[in-house]
């Protein structure tokens, strides 16, 4: 059971001491503040589940403090206490969002009831949040669409790995649905009632990733105004999904290996060891084994992560699934946009099955969404799809677009291996890097 | 003097047999030798005329000052109505993980609740409260295990329902291993 924390705010020392001892004996974590100003300062750096505050205090009174706390954190539970109860102040306190209102001195039993009720409210709120997250994040195996053999193989692998606690690497080109597979594994594992935490490693710099994963203490660096929980801590009892794992720096690779081995870590700027029980699932669109061979990815980390490897086939290798996927996306977007169900012309479907889809399922999904938006509302025709006869996916006819498209396709083909892509394009690596920068190409 | 002593200091008129019985139960529960002493305090200094009760915070501090290094715990036994500023009354209190505590039998008398006087129930309730508060001095917090003496009790009915002893979990915390 979670240990409830209580902040007692009262200008009378004897009251503070009494409540402090009482709550301590009840096993709560308790802190005291002698004024509203001091309490607000404490609340800047620490979170408390319950704030028990006297209304009548010199300087800022309890009601003003209540309003400020509520403005900062709406869900805070504040109980106001006073020596002289008047209907007006009680009504005002409740109007301003107080959880309850009590007159001192109160019966020991009333105090116990009050705190028990507040604790119950906290647990219900947390449970509600957790269930909401669960409903949003849970994915069924049935949500994985595909009758093709490569996809059936993936489904079998997902089913067998879901019940275990093993680390998983999901590899595959961009847009093949790696995150969805990770969610399905989590949703079908014994950890399904606990958080599924996503970290997009590629989107964060080294220092940001460090603070994101491990959390930080207030003042750990410029801009660290508050203590913050890290993703590893949030994923306690659940699953952490590290997307684009190949992008993390050598320093972070060492850190990650250490955390995976000990399942404990220290917040940035902190000194307390925090333990967390999480399962790790990684995704990559580059060949990690090649990176290990090239000395860009730690071998020990690779072997620790690569207990199970699930490779997602690109859409061009499972064209038999395209009709099912098209049907799924039509239903999804017609329903989301409140439009009638539309069908697709056989010739348009045929074209989609011939298309190479460098952006995989994500690209197909975007095409269908666009077709439903701009189409006539009855049938998706070839005209509604951004596919030309000879150059797939080309939106304009400029030389730049042609070059950009070609480089993109080659990069995808060689899983963004720069050396191999440069060789295929017959240019040197520097030229290819310049082109990637020029066209803002991304994996 | 035995350095492991728990010292019970009585303030007011307690019968010797009553105190011996409490001492026996405390010794059985905590496995420490228990000594009984008579204490003297000017209770009027701790009396709150507005509330008509005795301030438990100041009494606890007074008992704490009587603590000697050769004692493990020092515990004050009273017969007066105790309060702390925020609560209407308390049965007793102690420093968590500290060296002293106090309890009063004032609110344990059945006749206070319209029932017949019952000396056995009075002794049993008071003994449970003394063990409960001493448990706090040994670092135990309130326990949720039904029947454990460390369960929080705010009415005498709660006290009557619990046992005079620690549950296995609290005992383990008291004597790990």
Q: Please give the Cα distance from A317 to A329 (Å, whole number).
A: 19
CB A239 within 8 A of CB A281: yes
Residue A222: which pLDDT band, with cuts at 50, 70 and 90? Answer: low
The pLDDT of residue B177 is: 61
Tell whether A237 is covered by a domain: yes
Tell whether A409 is covered by a domain: yes
Tell whether A255 is covered by a domain: yes
Q: Please give the Cα distance from B3 to B68 (Å, whole number).
A: 10
CB A420 within 8 A of CB A431: no
Q: DSSP letters of B77-93?
A: EE-S-EEETTEEEESEE
**Looking at the DSSP assignment, which residues form a beta bridge with residue B94?**
B101
* Structure-model confidence comparison of residues A131 and A308, the more confident one: A308
* Structure-model confidence comparison of residues A23 and A217, the more confident one: A23
A27 to chain B, any CB pair closer than 8 A? The answer is yes
| Contact assignment for B154 to A112 by CB distance below 8 Å | yes
Q: Which of A399-403, B18-22, B126-130 has the lowest mean pLDDT?
A: A399-403
Q: What are phi and psi of B97, to 5 degrees?
A: 60, 25
3-state secondary structure of A38: helix
CATH number, residue A239: 3.40.50.300
pLDDT at residue B58 is higher than 90: yes
CB A221 within 8 A of CB A268: yes
Which of A19, A27, A108 is nearest residue B90 as measured by Cβ atoms? Answer: A108
pLDDT at residue A305 is higher than 50: yes
The whole-angstrom distance between residue A303's C-alpha and the CA centroid of its chain comes to: 25
Q: Which of A300-309, A365-374, A396-405 has the highest mean pLDDT?
A: A300-309
The pLDDT of residue A424 is: 84
Q: Which of A53-67, A74-88, A126-140, A288-302 has the lowest mean pLDDT?
A: A126-140
Nearest CA in chain A to B98: A21
Q: Tell me the two tokens of residue A297.
A: 């990815």
The pLDDT of residue A2 is: 65
Looking at the complex, report in whole angstroms how far the Cα of residue B84 sits from the nearest Cα belonging to chain A.
6
Tens of pLDDT along A334-354? 888 888 878 899 988 988 988
Where does residue A178 rank: exposed (0-12), middle (13-18), buried (19+ CB within 10 A)? buried
Q: How much of chain A exceeds pLDDT 70, in percent?
A: 92
pLDDT at residue A394 is higher than 50: no
The pLDDT of residue B95 is: 92
Residues A234, A323, single domain; the answer is no
Looking at the complex, report in whole angstroms how far the Cα of residue A119 sits from the nearest Cα belonging to chain B.
15
* Structure-model confidence comparison of residues A228 and B58, the more confident one: B58
Tens of pLDDT along B65-83? 999 988 999 999 999 999 9
The pLDDT of residue A192 is: 84
**Looking at the DSSP assignment, which residues form a beta bridge with residue A29?**
A5
B89 to chain A, any CB pair closer than 8 A? The answer is yes
Work out the average pLDDT over B125-152.
94
Residue at which a domain ends, from A311, A342, A357: A311
Residue B62: which pLDDT band, with cuts at 50, 70 and 90? Answer: very high
Which of A12, A21, A105 is nearest residue B96 as measured by Cβ atoms? Answer: A21
| Contact assignment for B96 to A25 by CB distance below 8 Å | yes
Q: How far is residue A174 from each of residues A177, A234, A312, A315, B133, measured CA to CA in Å?
A: 8, 27, 10, 11, 64
Residues A212, A283, single domain; the answer is yes
pLDDT at residue A174 is higher than 80: yes
Rounded to two decimals, the ipTM of the complex is 0.76
Residues A158, A285, single domain; the answer is yes
Q: Please give the Cα distance from B95 to A282 (Å, whole number).
A: 50
| Catalytically active residues of B, by annotation | 133
Residue A133: which pLDDT band, with cuts at 50, 70 and 90? Answer: low
Q: DSSP letters of B10-49?
A: E-S---HHHHHHHHHHHHHHH-S-EEEEE----GGGGEET
Residues A434, A331, single domain; the answer is yes
The pLDDT of residue A390 is: 46
The pLDDT of residue B1 is: 40
Work out the average pLDDT over A7-19.
89
Residues A241, A167, single domain; the answer is yes
Tell whether A378 is covered by a domain: yes
Which of A15, A109, A112 is nearest residue B86 as measured by Cβ atoms? Answer: A15
CATH number, residue A89: 3.40.50.2300
A2 to chain B, any CB pair closer than 8 A? The answer is no
Q: Which residues contact A83 (CB under 8 A, 6 or more apart)?
A: A56, A103, A104
A11 to chain B, any CB pair closer than 8 A? The answer is no
Contacts of B89 in chain A (CB under 8 A): 107-108
Residues A163, A275, single domain; the answer is yes
Residues A257, A297, single domain; the answer is yes
Contacts of B157 in chain A (CB under 8 A): none
| Contact assignment for A109 to B155 by CB distance below 8 Å | yes
Residues A146, A122, single domain; the answer is no
Which of A17, A27, A105 is nearest residue B57 as measured by Cβ atoms? Answer: A17
pLDDT at residue A128 is higher than 90: no
B87 to chain A, any CB pair closer than 8 A? The answer is yes
Q: Tell me the two tokens of residue B19.
A: 């105190």
Q: By residue range, what is the domain housing residue A408?
A: 318-438
Residues A154, A277, single domain; the answer is yes
Residue at which a domain ends, from A311, A331, A360: A311
CATH number, residue A415: 1.10.8.60
Whether omega before A105 lies within 30 degrees of 0, making that bond cis, reads yes
Q: Which residues contact B81 (CB under 8 A, 6 or more apart)?
A: B52, B53, B54, B89, B104, B106, B107
Q: What are phi and psi of A122, to 5 degrees?
A: -60, -45
Q: Tell me the two tokens of residue A402.
A: 């042609």
The total of structural domains in chain A comes to 3
pLDDT at residue A136 is higher than 70: no
Residues A333, A299, single domain; the answer is no
pLDDT at residue A278 is higher than 90: yes
The pLDDT of residue A83 is: 74
Q: Best of A1, A25, A28, A54 to disrupt the B interface by mutation (most B CBs within 10 Å)? A: A25
The pLDDT of residue A393 is: 47
Residue at which a domain ends, from A134, A167, A183: A134
Residue A166: which pLDDT band, with cuts at 50, 70 and 90? Answer: very high
Task: Write the DSSP symbol of residue A78.
Answer: E
Q: In 10 A of CB A202, how many CB atoms?
A: 16
The pLDDT of residue B126 is: 97
Tens of pLDDT along A33-74? 999 999 988 888 888 899 999 888 888 888 888 888 888 777
Radius of gyration of chain B (CA): 15
* Structure-model confidence comparison of residues B112 and A84, the more confident one: B112
* Per-chain mean pLDDT for chain A: 85
Residues A153, A278, single domain; the answer is yes
Tens of pLDDT along A359-392? 898 899 999 988 888 887 788 888 888 875 444 4
Q: How much of chain B exceeds pLDDT 90, in percent?
A: 77
Q: How many CB pairs under 8 A join A and B?
A: 60
Tell whether A443 is covered by a domain: no
Give which of A289, A260, A261, A265 is closest to A275, Cα–Cα. Answer: A265
The pLDDT of residue A391 is: 46
Q: Best of A14, A21, A32 to disrupt the B interface by mutation (most B CBs within 10 Å)? A: A21
* Residue A420: CA count within 13 A, CB half-sphere: 14
Q: How far is residue A224 from each of residues A215, A218, A219, A268, measured CA to CA in Å?
A: 10, 5, 5, 10
Q: Tell me the two tokens of residue A200.
A: 């997009």
Residues A147, A293, single domain; the answer is yes
């Amino acid at each position: 059971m979670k240990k409830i924390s209580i902040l007692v705010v009262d200008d009378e020392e004897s009251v503070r001491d009494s409540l402090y001892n009482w709550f301590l004996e009840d096993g709560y974590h308790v802190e005291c503040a002698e004024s509203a100003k001091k309490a607000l300062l404490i609340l800047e750096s620490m979170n408390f589940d319950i704030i028990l505050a006297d209304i009548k205090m010199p300087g800022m009174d309890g009601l003003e403090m209540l309003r400020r706390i509520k403005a900062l954190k709406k869900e805070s539970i504040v109980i106001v206490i006073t020596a002289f109860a008047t209907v007006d102040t009680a009504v005002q306190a409740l109007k301003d969002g107080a959880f309850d209102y009590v007159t001192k001195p109160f019966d020991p039993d009333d105090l116990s009831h009050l705190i028990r009720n507040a604790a119950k409210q906290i647990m219900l709120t947390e449970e509600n949040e957790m269930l909401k997250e669960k409903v949003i994040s849970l994915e069924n195996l049935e949500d994985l669409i595909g009758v093709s053999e490569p996809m059936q193989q993936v489904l079998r692998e997902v089913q067998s790995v879901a019940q275990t606690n093993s680390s998983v690497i999901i590899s595959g080109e961009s847009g093949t649905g790696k995150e969805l597979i990770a969610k399905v594994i989590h949703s079908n594992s014994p950890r399904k009632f606990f958080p599924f935490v996503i970290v997009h490693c590629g989107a964060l710099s080294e220092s940001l990733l460090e603070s994101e994963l491990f959390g930080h203490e207030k003042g750990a660096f410029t801009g660290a105004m508050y203590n913050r929980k890290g993703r590893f801590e949030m994923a306690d009892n659940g699953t952490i999904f590290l997307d684009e794992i190949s992008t993390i720096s050598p320093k972070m690779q060492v850190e990650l290996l250490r955390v995976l081995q000990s399942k404990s870590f220290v917040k940035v700027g902190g000194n307390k060891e925090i333990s967390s029980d999480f399962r790790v699932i990684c995704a990559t669109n580059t060949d990690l084994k090649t990176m290990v061979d090239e000395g860009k990815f730690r071998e020990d980390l690779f072997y620790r992560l690569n207990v199970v490897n699930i490779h997602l086939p690109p859409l061009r290798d499972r064209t038999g699934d395209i009709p099912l996927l098209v049907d799924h996306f039509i239903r999804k977007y017609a329903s989301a946009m409140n439009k009638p169900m539309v069908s697709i012309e056989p010739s348009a479907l045929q074209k989609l099955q011939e298309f190479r889809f460098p952006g995989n399922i994500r690209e197909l999904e975007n095409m269908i969404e666009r077709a439903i938006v701009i189409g006539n509302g009855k049938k998706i025709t070839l005209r509604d799809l951004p596919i030309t006869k000879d150059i797939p996916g080309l939106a304009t006819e400029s030389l730049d677009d042609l070059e950009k498209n070609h480089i993109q396709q080659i990069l995808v083909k060689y899983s963004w291996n720069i050396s191999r892509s440069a060789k295929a394009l017959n240019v040197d690596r520097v030229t290819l890097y310049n082109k990637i920068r020029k066209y803002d190409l991304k994996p | 003097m035995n350095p492991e002593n728990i010292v019970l200091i009585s303030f007011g008129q307690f019968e010797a047999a009553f105190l011996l019985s409490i001492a026996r139960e405390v010794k059985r529960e905590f496995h420490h030798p228990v000594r009984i002493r008579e204490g003297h305090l000017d209770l009027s200094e701790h009396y709150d005329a507005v509330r008509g009760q005795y301030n438990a915070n100041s009494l606890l501090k007074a008992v704490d000052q009587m603590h000697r290094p050769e004692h493990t715990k020092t515990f004050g036994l009273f017969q007066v109505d105790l309060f702390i500023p925020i609560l209407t009354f308390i049965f007793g209190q102690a420093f968590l993980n500290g060296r002293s505590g106090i309890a009063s039998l004032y609110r344990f008398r059945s006749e206070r609740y319209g029932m017949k006087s019952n000396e056995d129930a009075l002794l049993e309730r008071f003994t449970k409260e003394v063990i409960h508060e001493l448990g706090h001095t040994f670092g135990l917090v309130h326990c949720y295990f039904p029947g454990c003496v460390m369960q929080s009790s705010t009415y005498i009915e709660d006290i009557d329902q619990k046992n005079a002893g620690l549950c296995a979990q609290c005992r383990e915390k008291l004597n790990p291993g």
